[in-house]
Chain A
């Protein structure tokens, strides 16, 4: 019976690594399917976007956060609620631009890259690029057009992983103006 109990706890831990394992397997497959890193990066971004567009509903349902009034609030929600909820980490928010339209998320450790090493012939691969697409797609669904990109990556030897997010513009609804 103790053998089964041991397996049970392992199962719970494994559950949280299931996404990481699957993601790694996906990147490996894409590197096989596409000739160059740029194409893999694009595909990861595209897939991430499609995921983000759907995941936002799940997020809003689970988190109960209200509408964000400005980009600073958005940053807080992304770092403290969304990342925590889905990846179990809370990145710190730094490097705000003077205009308040750009900031960085610093991930001390990126759970996606546990046990991952980039082979030499994939130096242009942005391994976690799915995340950029997810953030972009999700925010588009709440009327924000943003640019998201990795500017530092521990997989490439940097000390931390840094994601830079820039607010581009508000996306207007097609609904007529009026009180909600």
Chain B
């Protein structure tokens, strides 16, 4: 199948149902994403040798992982070469079902939490601890900031 209606429908419903109680809900959503990120990252890299460095891992995230979940690659990856990365997706799949109006900007955290967890989980599986935050500069694009924690 070219797209993933069941996954998208499930994501949409999770964003609503789990976030009925705001604060706790975002954490729960992120937790779900984290587990999915770990699992996907594990399965996608089963046959391949481990990444030679942090940047390689981020590139895998932006290509293979993103395509698997969001049907396209990340449009823009920037880094300061000091552990901070910015991933930008200009046609973010999980925002595509929402109208482009401003009213959804308030709700945006609900629709980004799962993916923040996904990124964290994937990186965690590859041996990197990170913090991930996200924002919607303008619908339907999303920007994820990843900061790799130095141990």
Listed in ascending order, the chain A residues whose CB lies under 8 Å from chain B are 3, 6-7, 10-11, 14-19, 21-26, 28-29, 32-33, 43, 46-47, 50-51, 54-55, 58, 62, 86-87
Contact = CB atoms under 8 A, between A and B. Distances in A.
B28 A55 contact: no
Interface string B1-31: 1001111011111101110000000001001
Contacts of A11: 44, 64, 67-68
Contacts of A33: 28
Contacts, number: 89
A62 B10 CA distance: 18
Nearest to B2: A15
A26 B43 CA distance: 19
Interface residues of B, number: 32
Given A29-B28, A47-B13, A50-B17, A7 B64 contact: yes
Given A7-B48, A29-B28, A55-B9, 17 more contacts: A7-B44, A10-B46, A10-B64, A11-B68, A15-B1, A18-B4, A18-B40, A19-B4, A19-B10, A22-B11, A25-B35, A29-B31, A32-B31, A47-B17, A51-B10, A51-B12, A55-B5
Interface of B: 1, 4-7, 9-14, 16-18, 28, 31-36, 39-40, 43-44, 46-48, 64, 67-69
Contacts of B67: 11
A14 B40 contact: yes
B68 A23 contact: no
B18 to A, nearest CB: 8
A132 B39 CA distance: 26
Nearest to A62: B5
B65 to A, nearest CB: 9
The 9 closest A-B pairs by CB, nearest first: A25-B35, A25-B32, A14-B68, A19-B7, A11-B68, A19-B6, A51-B9, A21-B39, A25-B36
B39 A50 contact: no
A86 B39 CA distance: 21
A87 B9 CA distance: 14
A134 B46 CA distance: 33
A18 B17 contact: no
Contacts of B33: 25
